[in-house]
Amino acid sequence: MRILLAEDDPLLGDGLRAGLRQLGFLVDWVRDGGAAERELRAHPYAAAVLDLGLPLKDGMAVLEAVRRAGVSLPVLVLTARDAVPDRIRGLDVGADDYVVKPVDLRELGARLRALVRRSHGQPQECLRAQDVVLDPAARSVLQAGAPITLSAREFDLLHALMLNVGRVLSREQLEQHLYSWGQEVDSNAVEVHIHHLRRKIGGTLIQTVRGVGYMLQREGHSP
C-alpha cells in the first residue's frame, strides 16, 4: 500500500522510509508541511505518517487543513510531543492514531495496517474473499488452504482489490496503489498484473467491469 511520510529529520526520515519499504509499504517522503498538505490533497494515499514539528507549516495545522478540505485517509501522528494536551489536540483535530517517538518499526507497520483495514470496514487482520485469504502482515496468500506465490506487484494489486470487495476500482486508482514517486508505469501495467493474477488464482475472482475497471467479488457470481 502507498503511504505519505512527512518528516523533516533527514536521518529519521530515511530510516523510516527504508524500514517501511522492507515491511511492504510504498513510501512517498516529504520534508515540510506545505508539501505534506499539497500531497494529501492531491493523491489518494492509503494512509499518512505525519510529524508535527514540520517547517513551513506545522503538522497540526496541516492536519486541520486537510480534514477541513474533506481528506479522510487515516493519519498517524508520529511526534516527539508527548504531553497529554498535545495528544488530545492531535486526536481532536483529526488524527486516527498518535504515537510518540521513538517507535519500533514493526509496531508502526502494524498500526498502519490496522488503520487502513478499519478505514475500509475490514475488522479482521486477514482479508478473505471466496477461498482466498490474504495476510497483509506476512504478505502471504492462501487459496483453499494452499500457498500462492505472488510477485510484490501482484500481492499489492490483490490487496487493493480485497480491501475494496464489491467496489469497482479504475486502472488509475490501482496505479495509485501500486506505484510511488519515480516509478515508471507502462500503459498496460495493470492489465498485465491482472492477467498474471488470474492465471494464479483463477479467472472468476477478479471481475472486469467494461469501461470502468476491476472488482473482486466476495461470492462467486458475476457483477
Q: Which pLDDT tens digit goes with each residue over 65-100?
A: 999 999 999 999 999 999 999 999 999 999 999 999
| Residue 223, pLDDT score | 42
| 223 assigned to some structural domain | no
Question: Do 80 and 149 belong together in one domain?
Answer: no
Question: Do 9 and 115 belong together in one domain?
Answer: yes
Question: Do 132 and 77 belong together in one domain?
Answer: no
135-160: average pLDDT: 94
| Residue 184, pLDDT score | 65
Whether this prediction's pTM lies above 0.85 is answered by yes
Question: Do 44 and 149 belong together in one domain?
Answer: no
Q: Provide the CATH number for the domain around residue 69.
A: 3.40.50.2300
pLDDT digits 0-9 by tens, 151-207: 999 999 999 999 998 899 998 889 888 877 666 667 788 899 999 999 999 888 899
| Residue 222, pLDDT score | 45
Question: Do 8 and 74 belong together in one domain?
Answer: yes
What is the bridge-based pairing of β-strands 47-50 and 26-30?
unpaired
Question: Do 104 and 155 belong together in one domain?
Answer: no
| Residue 219, pLDDT score | 65
| Residue 179, pLDDT score | 78
Question: Do 101 and 149 belong together in one domain?
Answer: no
Q: Provide the CATH number for the domain around residue 175.
A: 1.10.10.10
| Residue 183, pLDDT score | 65
| Residue 97, pLDDT score | 97
- Cα atoms found within 13 Å of the Cα of residue 180, Cβ hemisphere only: 17
Range of the domain at 42: 2-119
> Helices 105-119 & 10-22, crossing angle to 10 degrees?
70
| 133 assigned to some structural domain | yes
C-alpha 188, offset from chain centre = 22
Question: Do 91 and 30 belong together in one domain?
Answer: yes
Question: Do 196 and 113 belong together in one domain?
Answer: no
| Residue 100, pLDDT score | 95
Number of domains in the chain: 2
Pick from 106, 101, 117, 79: which is nearest to 22 by CA?
A: 106
Q: How does residue 123 score in pLDDT terms, banded at 50, 70 and 90?
A: confident
| 29 assigned to some structural domain | yes
What is the bridge-based pairing of β-strands 132-135 and 140-143?
antiparallel
Domain closes at, from 100, 119, 138: 119
Question: Do 31 and 115 belong together in one domain?
Answer: yes
Name the residue with cell 495496517. Answer: 113
| Dist. CA 37–CA 64, nearest whole Å | 10
| 160 assigned to some structural domain | yes
Question: Do 113 and 161 belong together in one domain?
Answer: no
Residue 133 has pLDDT above 50, yes or no: yes
50-61: average pLDDT: 96
- Start-end of H helices in the chain: 10-22, 33-42, 59-68, 84-92, 105-119, 152-163, 171-178, 189-201
pLDDT digits 0-9 by tens, 27-48: 999 999 999 999 999 988 999 9
